[in-house]
Structure 1
Amino acid sequence: MIRRTPNRTPQAAMLFAAGFGTRMAPLTQDRPKPLIPVAGRPLIDHALDLVRPLGLARIVANLHYRAEMLEAHLAPLGVRTSVETPEILDTGGGLRQALPLLGPGPVFTLNSDAIWSGPNPLELLRAVWDGNRMDALLIGIAPERALGHKGAGDFTADAEGRVLARGPGLIYGGAQILTPTLLDQVPDRVFSLNRVWDLMQARGRLFVLEYPGQWCDVGHPGGIALAESLLAETYV
């Protein structure tokens, strides 16, 4: 069980919204994946529903594919944007580029292609975040609670939540708190946060928190119907 020690909590959130949505084709031919409707609302609006209750000072989204469409949608919502050009920077490079907009200290990051049923995962992360011993705290989903996901899992952890190995186990749910200081240790401009997690794991400071509700991967067309069914059950 992860126990919380009072310390500085994040004041900013990064929404990952720059991807090409290749798995979601052909629905992404005329729009970016975060604008695909699920239960009558764009995917990214469902993600914002999780961020808004936190009362954060800054919300930022990274953009690349059809950036102008997302920018037009997000600007009226008060979301600042970090446009990646000429190339997409992946999660690590994208987060590093956005740091001037996010400000100092730890940040929430959230993928915009999942639907959650249960407690707000970001509030769960904030409740147990301990920056004195954690470089990152990730949400993990038990395979039996994950809809629309076929992988074997991403992390195994000890009783305290410290990640022991990368591989079959909890599925990364796309939500985390991360201290971005180790981003500067990766020399490349384009890189995945997996490389930063490896550095954190080597330091014994990568943790995962198991989510008690259900989660649906909406990265492919089949996930839309699953997500809408999950939302319908949630609001019955």
Structure 2
Amino acid sequence: MLLSYAWTATGNRQESVPLIHPRRAAESTNPGNENMKAMILAAGFGTRLWPLTASVPKPLVPVANVPLIDRIISHLAVFGVKSLVINAHHRHRQLTEHFAGVQVFGLPVEVRVEEEILGTGGGIKNTEDFWDDEAFVAVNGDILTNIDIASAVEWHRSHGGLATLVLHDYGQFNKIVVDGESMVRRIPTNYDPGRKGVFAFTGIQVLEPALLQYIAPGCYSNIMDCYRRLIAQGIKIGACLVSGHRWCDVGTVPAYLRANLETSEAERRLVGKDCTIASGARIEGRAILGNGVVLEEGARVADSVIWDGVTVCEGVSITGSVVTSGRVASDLRNQAV
């Protein structure tokens, strides 16, 4: 049975999403910290990405035929991260197998499985033994960006405080109130895009290990709730404001499709390995075809993402959609199946 999801296309397009490629360790932009560590928060259920996450965990959904989490790791490696921990819950075995016995872009990766989901705060607390005495980075597992993480860490060190949130001006997601000294003043629960002096969380934060003493062990905890309590006690939480970068939240189906189609690979109409494309089939606009895709005679794919092993049957048209598996025997427009 095909699980489907449909949306209304808006036609809006943001600046192309960066797909950062790995560099050798010697080319790191952060030579001053030889032991920088990081965490990718990847234990969510992937509910907003359903039905894409019906068969794979969110970190493994492909972006231009490369798992999302591998692209995030390459970004961390570029900016000097040397070791990495990832928390996992939904379909965690797939994630564990993905990293078993390998280093990704030269980074040793440890996967911490949460049998019961612990939230952003609880997940970070659960990795307490992974950290040393230095500040570390935590990154949400559903963003693509080229933000300079090394510079954010240096900002954090120069301004002090137990934690720093990396913020930007992003209209619809703006809500965090910042004061004139670049400190977080309030973290409201509701977005307030029209207000001056409020910013959006990029999904990147820098934390001191000492912060973990304020998070209860072994239970669900939201890191933003922890920050709210600390701010109420007068403890400083920094606000590192960034601009001029690229950024995309890949957490919803429309955003996932946009992130794929705005890659340079999609512009060139990326076709994976061992694909079979009939002479009368057509690929139009921006498109990404995974490995082993079959386009039968008269099939048409436009502005869509087709995962590995999918067959688009004779005469079928797919427009603005994401297809994750199986044989597609009827037309699709603005759907995910």
Using the size of structure 1 for normalisation, the TM-score is 0.83
Distance 1:164 1:226 in 2: 33
TM alignment of 1:90-109, pairs within 5 A: 90-109=119-138
Q: Give the secondary structure class of the aligned counterpart of 1:82.
A: strand
1:42, distance to aligned residue in structure 2 (A):
0.9
User: Larger % of helix: which?
Assistant: 1
Structure 1, 19-28 or 182-191: larger mean CA deviation = 182-191
Q: Give the secondary structure class of the aligned counterpart of 2:185.
A: strand
Structure 2 residue 196 is matched with structure 1 residue 165: no
* Overall identity of the aligned pairs, in %: 28
Distance 1:91 1:70 in 2: 18
Q: Give the secondary structure class of the aligned counterpart of 1:28.
A: helix
1:32, distance to aligned residue in structure 2 (A):
0.3
**Alpha carbons of 1:131 and 1:98: their partners in 2 closer, same or farther (altered >3 Å)?**
farther
> What residue is the counterpart of 2:250 in the other structure?
218
Equivalent pairs, count: 220
TM alignment of 1:1-236, pairs within 5 A: 11-75=36-100, 76-77=102-103, 78-85=108-115, 87-116=116-145, 118=146, 120-130=147-157, 133-144=160-171, 150-151=172-173, 153-167=174-188, 168=192, 169-187=198-216, 189-202=219-232, 203-212=234-243, 213-232=245-264
1:226, distance to aligned residue in structure 2 (A):
2.1
Alpha-carbon RMSD across the aligned residues, in angstroms, is 2.5
**Alpha carbons of 1:211 and 1:226: their partners in 2 closer, same or farther (altered >3 Å)?**
farther
Amino acid corresponding to residue 216 of structure 1 in structure 2? C
Unaligned runs of 5+ in 1: 1-6, 145-149
Are the equivalent residues in 1 in contact too, given 2:122–2:215 (CA < 8 A)?
Answer: no
Work out which structure has the larger RCO, using CA pairs closer than 8 Å and 6 or more positions apart in sequence. 1
Are the equivalent residues in 1 in contact too, given 2:80–2:150 (CA < 8 A)?
Answer: no
Distance 1:154 1:9 in 2: 35
1:46, distance to aligned residue in structure 2 (A):
1.4
Structure 1, 159-168 or 224-233: larger mean CA deviation = 224-233
1:37, distance to aligned residue in structure 2 (A):
0.7
Q: Give the secondary structure class of the aligned counterpart of 1:110.
A: strand
1:131, distance to aligned residue in structure 2 (A):
6.5
Are the equivalent residues in 2 in contact too, given 1:135–1:179 (CA < 8 A)?
Answer: yes
Are the equivalent residues in 2 in contact too, given 1:13–1:56 (CA < 8 A)?
Answer: yes
1:218, distance to aligned residue in structure 2 (A):
0.6
Are the equivalent residues in 1 in contact too, given 2:69–2:141 (CA < 8 A)?
Answer: yes
Using the size of structure 2 for normalisation, the TM-score is 0.60
Distance 2:42 2:125 in 1: 15
Q: Greater Rg, structure 1 or structure 2?
A: 2
**Alpha carbons of 1:195 and 1:8: their partners in 2 closer, same or farther (altered >3 Å)?**
farther
Amino acid corresponding to residue 138 of structure 2 in structure 1? T
Amino acid corresponding to residue 159 of structure 1 in structure 2? G
> What residue is the counterpart of 1:4 in the other structure?
none
Moved over 6 A (4+): 7-10
Are the equivalent residues in 2 in contact too, given 1:16–1:91 (CA < 8 A)?
Answer: yes
**Alpha carbons of 1:79 and 1:186: their partners in 2 closer, same or farther (altered >3 Å)?**
closer
Distance 1:171 1:9 in 2: 30
Unaligned runs of 5+ in 2: 1-31, 193-197, 269-337
**Alpha carbons of 1:100 and 1:166: their partners in 2 closer, same or farther (altered >3 Å)?**
same
Distance 2:157 2:262 in 1: 32
1:69-126: CA deviations, max 9, x gaps?
11111231221111111x111111111111212333321001110111x4x3312312
1:156, distance to aligned residue in structure 2 (A):
1.6
Are the equivalent residues in 2 in contact too, given 1:89–1:191 (CA < 8 A)?
Answer: yes
